[in-house]
């Protein structure tokens, strides 16, 4: 399927709006994303995870560093706190969730 600018068709979240934190981790190295959809961080910074892409792009998670939000490679994060053990599988197109 043509995902357009989306990286995956589905994601895992802690709640239906994907607004609750799933976990927090520490950046294991510096990361500078290829475009504005990614969040940049420095080694040692705290990264907060809101959702995890599943399917073909399982290597990307979405979260925040300070006031910046975006995607990053999950392998660059060392998880040090889980906020929720619940994971809901949802479509990445938010309008699909709101339509039901």
Could you read off the pLDDT of 44-88 as tens digits, one per residue? 999 999 999 987 766 899 999 999 999 999 999 999 999 998 899
CB 100, CB 72: distance < 8 Å: no
- 48 forms beta bridges with 24, 64
Residue 16 pLDDT: 92
User: If you ran DSSP here, which 8-state letter would residue 21 be given?
Assistant: -
21 pLDDT exceeds 80? yes
Angle among Cα 13, 99, 89 to the nearest 5 degrees reads 20
Residue 76 pLDDT: 96
Span 24-29, mean pLDDT? 98
CB 69, CB 63: distance < 8 Å: yes
Give the CA-trace dihedral at 69, 72, 75, 76, to 10 degrees.
-70
Domains located in the chain, CATH noted? 10-82 (2.30.30.40)
Counting residues of the chain whose pLDDT is more than 70, the rounded percentage is: 84
């Amino acid at each position: 399927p043509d995902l357009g600018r989306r990286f995956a068709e589905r994601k895992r979240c802690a709640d239906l709006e994907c607004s609750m934190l799933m976990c927090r981790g520490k950046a294991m190295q510096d990361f500078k994303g290829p475009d504005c959809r990614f969040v940049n961080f420095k080694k040692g910074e705290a990264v907060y995870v809101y959702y995890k892409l599943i399917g073909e792009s399982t290597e990307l998670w979405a979260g925040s560093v300070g006031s910046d939000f975006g995607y990053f490679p999950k392998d660059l994060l060392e998880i040090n706190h889980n906020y929720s053990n619940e994971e809901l599988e949802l479509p990445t197109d938010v309008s699909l969730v709101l339509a039901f």
